[in-house]
Structure 1
Amino acid sequence: MEAYLTFGGNCEEALNFYKQCLGGEITALMRYEGTPMDGAQLPPEWKQKVLHSVFDAKGARFMASDAPPGQPKPAYSGITMSVYVPGPDHQPASQAFDALSQGGKVTMPFAPPFWGGHFGMLVDKFGVPWMVTSEH
């Protein structure tokens, strides 16, 4: 099972942000231009928006796209992206948490929870909720 995030026109910006935060790569990216949707119904400014993409980061993978023009802006409710950040200690996970929270809102600070390791929750600047965890 893989998560699929939908954005309202800023998917590529979000993917580049996640690339910085998580050290991953955009391994596939398809734009609206040149697809069957590229025609009279597709505004010119939408041609370079993301129709489909794949993001991989140290074994974590998700897909993302921009919603077609005219669709409501996505709002995330009832879901959370969960990322486990491996490392010899909790520092890589702490750095990922801090990076993801830039411009967003921390809902639970990154700290040791009662079950062990480190854990924190946030909503990033794109409105996507995240849980970041480390076993250390």
Structure 2
Amino acid sequence: MAKLNSYLNFDGQAEEAFNFYRSVFGGEFLGEIYRMGNAPGTEHLSDEEKKRVMHIALPVGKDLLMASDIVPGFGQTLTVGNNNYVSIFPESREEADRLFKGLSEGGDIEMPIEDQFWGDYFGSFRDKYGTHWMVNYNEEYPK
């Protein structure tokens, strides 16, 4: 069976965002933080663009949260929208509360985390970096 991991794009904030995510989830980055300036064909980029993140990965449980920065010098632009969410399924209500509180700090809460009519303990928000998150706990879900 294929495995799915979340991949996020930022506009120069990938490293800052992932240091924040690491402070909430714990753990260490998988491998090094790859920079745009280390790739071939990037000589024309500005010094700021060369420092941008080409790839970063943080293990979260059995999954990976990964990201990179867009590079304006390559004609890339970032449009932050609500078309993508990272959905987290913690193993306890306590973990759900901790993750919701930590990740939503400085962001905008869409739905406070609480018991929902469908039986789950659920909440959603946009973090301070524009990433949309869902935290969903149900004690009957497989671990």
What is the TM-score normalised by the length of structure 1?
0.88
Question: Any idea what the Cα deviations from partners look like across 1:33-53, whole Å, max 9, x if unmatched?
Answer: 2211430x2101222210012
Q: Across the two proteins, how many residue pairs are aligned to each other? A: 133
Structure 1 unaligned spans of 5+: none
| Correspondence 1:102 to 2:101 | no
Task: State the alpha-carbon separation in 2 of the partners of residues 14 and 49 from structure 1.
Answer: 12
| Correspondence 1:62 to 2:65 | yes
- Tell me by how many angstroms 1:94 deviates: 0.4
- Tell me by how many angstroms 1:3 deviates: 2.0
Task: State the alpha-carbon separation in 2 of the partners of residues 3 and 78 from structure 1.
Answer: 13
Aligned to 1:73: 78
Aligned to 1:132: 135
* Identity, % of aligned positions: 35
Structure 2 unaligned spans of 5+: none
More strand by share: 1
Question: Any idea what the Cα deviations from partners look like across 1:61-83, whole Å, max 9, x if unmatched?
Answer: 22100011242233133211101
State which drifts further: 117-126 or 25-34. Answer: 25-34
Task: State the alpha-carbon separation in 1 of the partners of residues 50 and 56 from structure 2.
Answer: 15
Task: State the alpha-carbon separation in 2 of the partners of residues 49 and 65 from structure 1.
Answer: 8
More helix by share: 2
What is the TM-score normalised by the length of structure 2?
0.84
Task: State the alpha-carbon separation in 2 of the partners of residues 117 and 25 from structure 1.
Answer: 30
